[in-house]
Structure 1
């Protein structure tokens, strides 16, 4: 039997048969984008209480009920980094923590940025954007740095789709 033990506007925590806990996201879909420009990957640094540290992540965030995936990823990219893009390529979706939550992430790719403006993060969001050389980003992932798993997944999808052909092994 499932029992809701905590509920907010954004998510609920459910207990399943007294054995497992699941976080049920009321807006379960999000989008992330791999942005490549001049051999660099656009990343954002955000403090995450769950790990008591700042992590490097792909730009992205929640898809609101009143918007489509492309609109959401463009909005999040502009809010977090100030970068605007022309074309986006859809690469697929994944459940990054299926054992814990129903959150689904849609992955996009672009190397077609048109301009940068001032970021406009959500209230209370402390985020910093930085262009990281692709090899450095891959090295940090390989060495186990404070990088969100979706960065690796997004880069892997980019390679599988033939969008990222750079040798990042060195």
Structure 2
């Protein structure tokens, strides 16, 4: 794949940090407001930064071609959402190991095969972390699962063929989950 050469006008310079703000630790995220300098105008701008651990999403598919999904309450929207299993990658943990762990903890399913699909930045405007996406194939139920404290999860199986409808009708609205399924589609198309 070739790309157009970068013109001097399109080169973006890094923004120097003038001052690091006071950090607030909320367990799952650390938030601070830094003073940054626009390299073009040298004007000072305040920017919020959220430091989170890296995350993992798992598109889990059974031998019967069903998606293993989870439904859980999300405080940000005060509603339950239908999502792919996933969660936080522990410090020093390999993302693939985290994917297998999160899948089994949240759903009780274990993958026969695990394939990396890609990595995205959830929101690089103010978040520092990455989200790794994996495809888990030939999943079989091996337990009832063991969710973390603070997780109340219902496991749902959906025919894989229903995925476009689930997204287009607004049953799946979590942006990182939609991106995960897009990455899966791109990988499948690239293999053709």
Q: Does 1:32 align with 2:57?
A: yes
RMSD: 2.1
| Runs of 4+ more than 3 Å apart | none
Equivalent of 2:69, from 34, 43, 47?
43
Unpaired runs of 5+ in structure 2?
Answer: 1-18, 36-44
Residue equivalent to 1:97:
123
| 1:22 to 2:40 alignment | no
Structure 2 partner of 1:7: 25
Structure 1 residues 1-41: Cα deviation after superposition (integer angstroms, max 9, x where no partner): 2302412444311113363322112xx21211111222321
Q: Is the contact between residue 79 and residue 121 of structure 1 (CA under 8 Å) also seen in structure 2?
A: yes
Distance verdict in 2 for CA 1:128–1:99, change over 3 Å: same
How many residues align structurally? 162
Greater CA radius of gyration, 1 or 2? Answer: 2
Where does structure 1 lack aligned partners over 5 or more consecutive residues? 166-170
TM superposition score normalised by structure 2: 0.75
Q: 145-154 or 73-82: which moved more?
A: 145-154
Q: Cα deviations across residues 93-150 of structure 1 (Å, max 9, x unaligned)?
A: 0012222311211111022224331111001211111111234332131133352112
